[in-house]
Structure 1
Amino acid sequence: METTEQQTPDHHQQPPTSPPPGADRLIDVPGVRNLRDAGGFGTADGGRIRLGLLYRSASLCELSPDGAGRLAALGLRTVVDLRSAEELVHWPNQRHGLDFELVSLPTLPPLEGSSANPETAADVSERHRQPEDPQEDGMTGMYSYMADTAGPPIVACIRQLTAPGALPALVHCAVGKDRTGVTIAVILSALGVADADITADFALSNAGLGLLNGPVYYVDEHGVERPSRPVRTELLALFLRKVHARHGTTAGFLRHHGLHVEELARLRELLVQGA
């Protein structure tokens, strides 16, 4: 979880560490954090996810005119925004003349007394957790909750990506680590990318967001300062484990939530080469 705005440093962080493997995949665009290509990974059937068609990032709410010039080089036709309606009002995406279709597909429903932003909701959950509650922390609960609720919006995202002329596309939430993380993980897994590659891509958000040494504080959509936590690979493992326990595979998860076999085949045709 998630949000981008008004981040301030955590003065208790340790000295910087060396960039992790894969950090060279991060694309430098002013005002767009955590941007990278979701392609390049091998698949179980001997194919490879095509480069230059599917990107992931934080929101475009801080996109600068210079950044828009660089982003234009990606040729984006579609931007899928996974944030809540409340977040969109507070932090609208900027275009600076870029021509793309902007599609709103909130990953989570509004959460009573909290937020549809996983980071904010997790923080509220932790504050109200009872001592006898076995849940490790708020983010553990949020990833488990996303396994229960995120199926329909992920299917809707795939349908948007497979629409005629939709690619290249960018998928983002607030900072591109939790909601974007599970969405891209499901897509890559359903296409046959190995868990190790999916996990490494998921973890790369810590480098993309300056979270390698611990939390960074931000002001959420309610004006409250909260910690933006580093992603932890065990959270994605929890999400996928729950999906697999119920549906066998991520493809089964997508079918359960309404994706047709032909639609998944179309996604594969568009995104996988050499299979």
Structure 2
Amino acid sequence: MKDTSTPKTARGHAERVVRFAQMFNVRDLGELRTSDGRRVRPGRIYRTDDPHLATDADAAALGALGITTVIDLRTPDEIEQRGTKRWDELGVRWISRPLWAEVPSIEHAHRYHDPKMTAELYGEMHEANLAAHAGLWRAFADAGTHCTAVHCASGRDRTGIVVALLLSLLDVGREDILEDYAMSARGMRRMLAYMEANFPPEVMASWNLDKEAMVLTPPEAIGHFLDWVQWRHGGIGGYAKEIGITDLVPVLQENLLEG
């Protein structure tokens, strides 16, 4: 993959992807439409994977996006292992908001082969640290009108959950939420290809990866998760009320939507 010093960001579904050499799952949430016809402001919020493998050119391109706040969903162990070097170099405001207490285990890999089981796993991730969710959304709200990035390790699961919830709070249509989630498949395939080309075979073998599971992001999985939110909380409004952020929803909409 060719490095570029300036990221190429286009406007609409797959064209929202920002291409890097060694970041694999980055896209702008801008242009997604709400039920009343508004849209998410372009260049306001990005979902990414962990930039610990980013090249110097990637880091320069990442800086060119204008990100000022980063919300990191990784566990403390992941942060200790991989660090925050690229974000530190960019001088951003880095905020740790773990969505899960433990590093995701390979024992869950089989659950990705069934979208309903994937959604059940996402429900467990969602519930695991529910008391901290208000702080998560406060961090988004406090970012104001500045450019924000949110990421976990691969940018698929924990980031996928948070983005699905965020877009629901913004009243983005379900079809667009599902499509955005499914877009991670290409990034996951790029990540797997990089690992196979650059990591020692014995390391790859020791991880015992389920390579098929690693790249699965069927839209039905996040759809079932949204159905679970409906069952568990009575919908996104019930979720906001339960965790005490109803006052933040109009703030998020004001900051992130235009039109």
* TM-score, scaled to structure 2: 0.80
Question: Amino acid of the residue matched to residue 91 of structure 1?
Answer: R
Bigger CA drift: 136-145 or 172-181?
136-145
RCO (CA 8 Å, sep 6+): is it higher in 1 or 2?
Answer: 1
Which residue matches 1:238?
224
Where structure 2 has 5 or more consecutive residues not aligned to the other structure, the ranges are 1-11
Which residue matches 1:272?
257
For 1:204, which of 183, 197, 205 is the aligned residue? 183
Q: For residues 153 and 235 of structure 1, what CA distance do their matches in structure 2 show? A: 24
Question: Alpha-carbon deviation of 1:213?
Answer: 11
Which residue matches 1:192?
171
1:24-81 CA deviation, whole Å, 9 max, x = no partner?
2210123322100012111112211111111001101112211111111111111111
Q: For residues 116 and 29 of structure 2, what CA distance do their matches in structure 1 show? A: 29
Query: What secondary structure does 2:136 align onto?
Result: helix
Identify if the C-alpha distance between structure 1 residues 138 and 88 changes in structure 2 by more than 3 Å, giving closer, same or farther: farther
* Percentage identity across paired residues of the two chains: 28
For 1:257, which of 225, 243, 247 is the aligned residue? 243
Identify if the C-alpha distance between structure 1 residues 153 and 32 changes in structure 2 by more than 3 Å, giving closer, same or farther: farther
Q: For residues 138 and 242 of structure 1, what CA distance do their matches in structure 2 show? A: 12
Query: What secondary structure does 1:169 align onto?
Result: strand
Question: Alpha-carbon deviation of 1:165?
Answer: 5.2
Question: Alpha-carbon deviation of 1:153?
Answer: 4.2
1:116-162 CA deviation, whole Å, 9 max, x = no partner?
32x53513x86xxxxxxxx9886354123134335444432221121
Which residue matches 1:156?
135
Following TM superposition, the consecutive aligned residue runs of length 4 or more in structure 1 with deviations greater than 4 angstroms are 135-138, 211-214, 216-220
Contact 1:79/1:103 (8 A) holds in 2: yes
Question: Amino acid of the residue matched to residue 175 of structure 1?
Answer: S
- What number of residue pairs does the alignment pair up? 235
For 1:226, which of 195, 201, 209 is the aligned residue? 209
1:32 partnered with 2:23: yes
Query: What secondary structure does 1:210 align onto?
Result: helix
